[in-house]
């Protein structure tokens, strides 16, 4: 069985959605911390999971947009390519 880019992109987006739902569900729980370090570690894990969900979402959309670049993917990738050109020419 061959794994396609569409399957990889869809699974990345699904993982991002599950991670976001887990983080949002955890926000409704009543926190009970004994020390400040427990609270700090819980907040750090929550922030890391939020960042990871964002990165997974971007990666999934990127993979699917590359797969369909000839039809609608160019609209997604055009700002990215413009930013790359701006960084390579403008800043350097």
The pLDDT value given to residue 1: 47
List, in sequence order, the alpha helices (H) in the chain.
5-27, 36-67, 74-85
92 pLDDT higher than 60: no
Identify the CA nearest to 56 among candidates 22, 92, 90, 86: 22
User: At residue 15, does pLDDT exceed 90?
Assistant: yes
Q: Which residue has the higher pLDDT, 56 or 85?
A: 56
CB neighbourhood size of 73 (10 A) = 17
Residue 87 above 60 pLDDT? yes
CA distances from 73 to 51, 69, 76 (A): 24, 4, 5
What is residue 28's DSSP assignment?
A: T
Range 15-37 average pLDDT: 83
Q: Give me the mean pLDDT over the 9-31 stretch.
A: 84
């Amino acid at each position: 069985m061959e794994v396609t880019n569409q399957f990889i992109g869809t699974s990345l987006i699904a993982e991002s959605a599950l991670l976001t739902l887990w983080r949002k569900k955890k926000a409704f729980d009543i926190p009970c911390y004994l020390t400040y370090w427990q609270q700090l570690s819980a907040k750090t894990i929550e922030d890391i999971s939020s960042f990871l969900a964002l990165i997974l979402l971007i990666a999934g959309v990127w993979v699917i947009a590359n797969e369909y670049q000839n039809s609608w993917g160019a609209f997604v990738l055009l700002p990215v390519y413009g930013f790359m050109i701006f960084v390579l020419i403008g800043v350097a």
